[in-house]
Structure formats: structure tokens, C-alpha cells
Amino acid sequence: MKVIQCGLGLMGRAWINTVQASSNVEFAALVEVDAATAQKRAQEFGLDPALIYPSLEAALAAVKADGVIDVTPPAAHQAISFAAMDAGLPVLSEKPLAGTRADARAIVAKSDQTGVLHMVTQNYRYTPLAQTVKRVLQSGDLGDIGAVSVRFFKGPHFGGFRDEMDYPLIVDMALHHFYMLRYFLNADPVSVYGKSWNPPWSWYKGDASAAVTAHFSSGAVVNYTGSWCSQGQETSWNADWRFECANGVLTVQDDRVYVQHLTGLEDHGGVHFTTHDALTEVPLVPMELQAQAYLLHEFYEAVTNGRTPGTPCQDNIKTVEFVFDVVESFKTGAPVTR
């Protein structure tokens, strides 16, 4: 299968690596609007400079391909997706589906109308950590999930488009965790409320810190708190999680999964306290392909064998709506209910 990759920036490097490591997928062409970046990547990865075009339209006119991988900034996703789908080419798009709610809805409408596959790279789902958490929650061992708390704190100095976004933490990063909430809970938010702020030392133009409460259709209540300009004691990119369940608790701490079960009640002079078994670390499930490699394989299977991928835009729009409902709540100061 031959693909055209658009965008050769930070994440573009990861995708070049992934395609070059694949035995099923190869490049028909690459696209980069910035000539200096194009030249740098050609040297770095030993790519034929003649295969790197300045626009997707130019690449589509010059080569035959089976799909497009979009690794451009969010603001460019709608135009790239439209050009690809209008040419009948399936799209594997980096998250977020688009930079605005309107662009994201337009992409889904285009995919529906053309019947062309459009899927989003929710790579956090396809890791041993996420699959282990999902397996434990799905097994029913801990019972119903009543509440989830998620803590995410990092301090990356990316430069570029993120520094200019109105809500970089929520739209470009928490979106991963919001998607994982939907995946873990197998439910969607019905009401969200949030407050965002920008600490005095922040290097972002928009709000880089936030606290969000979300009520899910399953009945679970979520508390999310995070910052993208934290100055110490950072969490992992996956965040730290705590699932409060009917029969115990599951936590994710520093990319390790722990469970503890309720065992009963103990009488302390008429007051009863809960008792628990020992805190147990859950071994991570092994995965042959992970993250981008898994998603590329899913894209390949979808395009060549018609297999339905796990992250089509028709589902991903619900994550985008979640994200922009939260942004709306930041702006109005009121809860947003669906």
C-alpha cells in the first residue's frame, strides 16, 4: 500500500519512522509546505527529495496513492482531509480530528457523503498500559465505576502552533485523555463543567491549566485536572488515574497499574471500617504492535481488506464535541449539558 504523508514536523518524524519500519506500507510521496523542513527531513531519513511536494494537490496530481497520512497542525486538517477524500483517498489523521468543532463536523460530513474512510490516530489507546486497564475494567472484577479522577502535569516547551492556541492543554493534549475516558467508560459525557487558567509563569498564549468535571452516561463522575506548564513532579504522558469502583479501586501511577479489592467490614467498637486485600500490581498485557505502528496496521487492514478500524471519525467526533463543550464551559462559566 502506498501513502502520501502530509507534514514533516515533530510528529511527522515519528510517522516517517513508522512507515519506514512497516513491511506493508511505503511512501508514494510526502508533502511539506516549509522547504527548509522538507530538505532537513530528506537528509535525516534518506528520502528522495523529488518525492517531497509543497502541497497535497501537487502530490495527488503527480503520483498514485492508496491513502493519506495527515500530520499537519490542527488548523490544516480540514483542507487536507477534504482534498484527500475528494480524490477518493482514505485518511489516517493525527488528532485532533480538526482544530475547531465546525471543521471536525465538516470532515465527518465529507466522509459520510463520499463514503471514504477517515480515521484518527488515538495512539494512547493502543498501548499495553491502556489495554491492561481496559481489560480489568471490562472483566467486571471491580464492579461498576462510580468515579474517575485523572491528574496530568507536564511542562513541554514545544514552540510553534501550541503556544498560540487559546486552550492548548485541552484541545491538543487533554483530548487524548478525554478520548481514553470515553474508551474506558464505554460511555459519553452528558454534562461538563470546567475552569481554565494560565499560570503567571506560563509560556503559552492561551490557558495551559484546567480543572474539569464531567458526568457520563454510565453514571460515572469524572474529575480531570491538568497543566501543560507544570514546573516539577511531572506525571507520565498517559496521566495518573484512579477508578473508584463498587468492589475496589484501580489506579494508574507512573504508567503502572494497581488494583485493590474490598474484602468486607471490620467492627471498631461499633464503627465499621472497610477492609481490603493487598495492593496488587497488574502485569501489562503484551502487544506486538503498539501506538502508531498499530494504527498504521489498522489503516492498512481497513484500506486493503475493508476491516473497520477502532477510531473512525464518526466516533471521534464525540471526543471533539466533549473537548469543545469543555471549552464552551470555560468561556461561559456555566455547565454544558447534552
Ligand X SMILES: NC(=O)c1ccc[n+]([C@@H]2O[C@H](COP(=O)([O-])OP(=O)(O)OC[C@H]3O[C@@H](n4cnc5c(N)ncnc54)[C@H](O)[C@@H]3O)[C@@H](O)[C@H]2O)c1
Q: Tell me which residues touch ligand X (CB under 6 A).
A: 6-12, 31-34, 37, 71-74, 76, 80, 94-95, 121, 123, 160-161, 172
What letter represents residue 248's amino acid?
G
15: Cβ–Cβ under 8 A, 6 or more apart, which residues?
5, 69, 71, 292
> Which residue, 83 or 148, is less far from ligand X as judged by CB?
83
Cβ(80)–Cβ(55) under 8 Å?
Answer: no
Number of C-beta neighbours around residue 196 at 10 A:
20
The residue sitting closest to ligand X, measured at its beta carbon, is 9
User: How far apart are CB 243 and ligand X at their closest, in Å?
Assistant: 23
Nearer to ligand X, 127 or 198 (CB): 127
Q: How far is CA 192 from CA 89, 215, 333, in A?
A: 36, 6, 11
Provide, rounded to whole angstroms, the least separation between the CB of residue 257 and ligand X. 20
Is the Cβ of residue 7 or residue 90 nearer to ligand X in the bound state? 7
Q: Shortest distance, CB of residue 143 to ligand X, whole angstroms? A: 32
User: Nearer to ligand X by C-beta: 8 or 145?
Assistant: 8
Strand order from edge to edge, sheet including 26-31: 52-53, 26-31, 2-6, 67-70, 91-93, 118-120
Which grid coordinates are listed for 94?
Answer: 493525527
Tell me the Cα Rg of the chain.
Answer: 21
Q: Which of 102/265 has CB closer to ligand X?
A: 102
For the bound state, the minimum distance from the C-beta of residue 38 to ligand X, rounded and expressed in Å, comes to 8
Measured from the CB of residue 247, what is the shortest distance to ligand X in angstroms?
A: 33
Strand 2-6, strand 52-53: pairing: unpaired
